A and B are shown apart, each in its own frame.
Chain A
C-alpha cells in the first residue's frame, strides 16, 4: 500500500508542495531562530571558552557570570595554591578599560591581564605578531574585530598605539577571538601591565585560573577548593554554562526567540495540517473505495502516516538546509550575525516537525478512520 499512498500524495502536486512548503517554513524558522539564539548565547560565554590552558576558574562566591567581576585579594591566590591536588594557580584580570585613540575618541575595551610568568589564558589564534612580544613594555594584543572597530577601513598592523588610563599601549599582535556579547574590542596584556591600564583599586585580581595535578578529577578538585577556601570554583565548561544560564534568565532573549520559534511552529502546523486535511478530504471517496474493497483501518492509517512522514522529512530537510545555508552565507559575507547550529538544534527542530506531522495527520486520520465505506455509494 505504501507506493499507492506515495502516488496519491505526489500526484496532487499543489497540495504536496503546499504541505512541504508549510513544514519547510516551520523548520526554517525554528532552526534559524534557535541557531541565532545559540549563537548569541555562545557569544556571552565566548571569553570563558577563549581562555586556554586552565581547566578551573576560581572566583568570589557571588559572581553570577563572566562579566560580573568581584575582585579577590592576592592572598586568595596562595590559598588556592595550597589546596591538595592543585598543580598550579595563576592570577587573571578581567575588566573594562577606556581607550583613547589618537583622534581623541574614546572606546570601551575589555582588558584581560594574563599571568606575567606563564601567560596562561593567552589568545588561541594569533594572526599577526607573536605571544612573546607581550612581554615588551606597554604591549597588548588586540582582537581583529576590535581593531577594525577602532580603526575602520585600516589594514591591521603592529605598532599601532593608543592610550588607556593615560598610559600608552602598543599593539604587538592581532588575534582572532570569539565575538563578545558587548561587541567591545578585546585587549590582552600581562597582569602587571593591565593594572597600569586601569585606575588603582585595593583588590584587583578578578579570577584565579588553576589546573589540577595529572589524574585529578576537575569537579572533585573544585569542590575541594570551595571547601578549603570558601571561594567558588568551577570548571571552564561549567563557567561557560553558568554565564549562558545567567543571560537566559536575566534577559528577555530566550522569550523573544521562543516567541518566534513558537510562531514558526504554530504557523507551520496550521499550514501543514490544513493542507493535509484538505488533501485527505479531496481523496475521501478514494479512501472510502479502498475501505469498501477491503482496506483495513490499520492500512489506511499507515498510508496517511506515511504521507505525513514523507512531507515532513522533505520539509524538514529543506527547512534545516535553508537555515544552515543562511547561516553559512551570512558568515561568509562577513555579517556580524550570531549563528551557531549545534546538533541539538537539528534534533529539536526534528522533534518539532514530528509533532507538527502528528498534529497534521491526526485530523486526517480521524476523518479516514471514521469514514463509512458505504460513502462510495453516495453520488
Chain B
C-alpha cells in the first residue's frame, strides 16, 4: 500500500506553537504539516532549538498548539479537553525518555507496571503482565532489580517495556540513545524498529544521533520551527547528518 493510500496514525496540519507573549514571545513551530504512519519509525531531526521536542510533545498530546490541528487514531487532539488528552495519552501513547525517567525506588518490573496501574489494573495482575513483557525482551531475570542496579541499556529496555506494556499504537521517544553507547543504542533502535513493524505502531523519535538514521523509515528535518524536508529514501539519510555543533559531545560516548 502506498503512502498516499495508507491512513496516517498521527497527522498535523498548520501547527503553530508560541511560547510567551508580546516582545518575549518565541515562535517554536511555524506551520508544521506532518504525517506519521503505522508500522514505521519516524525520526525528527534538526539543530537544537528547532522545535523537535515541541512538535513531539504536541503529537503526543502533552502540549496544546497555539494554532493548527492534530489528528491521532481518528481523534482531533486539539479539540480535546486537558482531562481527555490525559486519558488519550494513558491509553494510546507510550513514552521513552532520554534519561529513562524510571522511578528509582521501584523495581524494573514495578516500573513497567505503571501504565497498567494508571489504567486501573491491580498490582498483582500488572506485575504478571510486566514480567511476561520483560521475559520477551530478555530482561526477566532483571525484573526485581532497582534501576540503579541496571546498566544504561537495561534501563532503556525497561523504559521501552514500560512504554509498550499497555499496547499503545503511538510510541514517542526523546533521544532514546543519547545516554547509551553506540552498540547498545543500535540494539535499542533495532528493538524499536521491530516494535513499530510488528505492532503496526507509529514510532516517533527525536534524535541528534546521525548514526541511527539508518533505522528510520521517514526522517523529518526541522529548522527554525519548520519542517524543511521529509525524506523517505533510505539512501539519502546519510546526507541528513545534522551540523556538528548540533550534536552534543555526550551523544554517543556516554556509557
- Chain B residues with Cβ under 8 A from A7's Cβ? 103, 105-106, 110
A285 touches B99 (CB 8 A): yes
- Of chain B, the residue at the smallest CB distance from A12 is B105
Q: Which of B89, B98, B99, B103 contacts A292 (CB 8 A)?
A: B89
Instruction: Report the count of interface residues on B (CB-CB < 8 A).
Output: 34
Asked if B63 is at the interface of the complex by the 8 Å CB criterion, the answer is: yes
B62 touches A373 (CB 8 A): yes
Q: Which of B56, B83, B99, B105 contacts A379 (CB 8 A)?
A: B99
Contacts A4-B117, A8-B103 given; indicate if A292 touches B95 (C-beta within 8 A). Answer: yes
Tally A-B pairs: CB < 8 A: 83
Asked if B104 is at the interface of the complex by the 8 Å CB criterion, the answer is: yes
- B36-79 interface mask toward A, CB cutoff 8 Å, 1 = contact, 0 = none? 00000000000000000100110010110000000000000000
A377 touches B56 (CB 8 A): yes
- Chain B residues with Cβ under 8 A from A294's Cβ? 86-91, 93, 115, 118-119
Considering the chains assembled together, what is the distance between the CA atoms of A374 and B97 in angstroms?
Answer: 11
Question: Shortest beta-carbon distance, A293 to chain B, in Å?
Answer: 6
- Of chain A, the residue at the smallest CB distance from B107 is A7
Considering the chains assembled together, what is the distance between the CA atoms of A10 and B103 in angstroms?
Answer: 12
A294-312 residues at the B interface, CB under 8 angstroms: 294-296, 299
Asked if B192 is at the interface of the complex by the 8 Å CB criterion, the answer is: no
B95 touches A289 (CB 8 A): yes
Question: Shortest beta-carbon distance, A310 to chain B, in Å?
Answer: 14
- Chain A residues with Cβ under 8 A from B118's Cβ? 1, 290, 293-295, 299
- Chain B residues with Cβ under 8 A from A10's Cβ? 105
- Of chain B, the residue at the smallest CB distance from A9 is B105
Asked if B209 is at the interface of the complex by the 8 Å CB criterion, the answer is: no
Considering the chains assembled together, what is the distance between the CA atoms of A332 and B98 in angstroms?
Answer: 61
A377 touches B101 (CB 8 A): no
Q: Which of B91, B103, B178 contacts A286 (CB 8 A)?
A: B103
- A1-30 interface mask toward B, CB cutoff 8 Å, 1 = contact, 0 = none? 101100110111000000000000000000
Where the two chains meet, the residues of B that have a C-beta atom closer than 8 Å to any C-beta of A are 53, 56-57, 60, 62-63, 83, 86-91, 93, 95, 97-99, 101, 103-106, 110, 114-115, 117-119, 123, 174-175, 178, 206
Q: Which 3 A/B pairs are nearest by Cβ-Cβ distance?
A: A11-B105, A294-B90, A289-B101
A7-B110, A289-B103 provided; 7 other pairs, C-beta below 8 A?
A7-B105, A285-B101, A289-B95, A292-B89, A373-B62, A376-B97, A377-B53
Where the two chains meet, the residues of A that have a C-beta atom closer than 8 Å to any C-beta of B are 1, 3-4, 7-8, 10-12, 285-286, 288-296, 299, 372-374, 376-379
Please list 29 pairs of residues, one from A and one from B, whose beta carbons are closer than 8 Å in the complex, sorted by A's number.
A4-B103, A4-B106, A8-B103, A8-B105, A11-B105, A11-B106, A285-B101, A286-B101, A286-B103, A288-B101, A289-B101, A289-B103, A292-B62, A293-B115, A294-B89, A294-B91, A294-B93, A294-B115, A294-B119, A295-B90, A296-B86, A299-B118, A372-B63, A374-B53, A374-B62, A376-B174, A377-B62, A379-B98, A379-B178
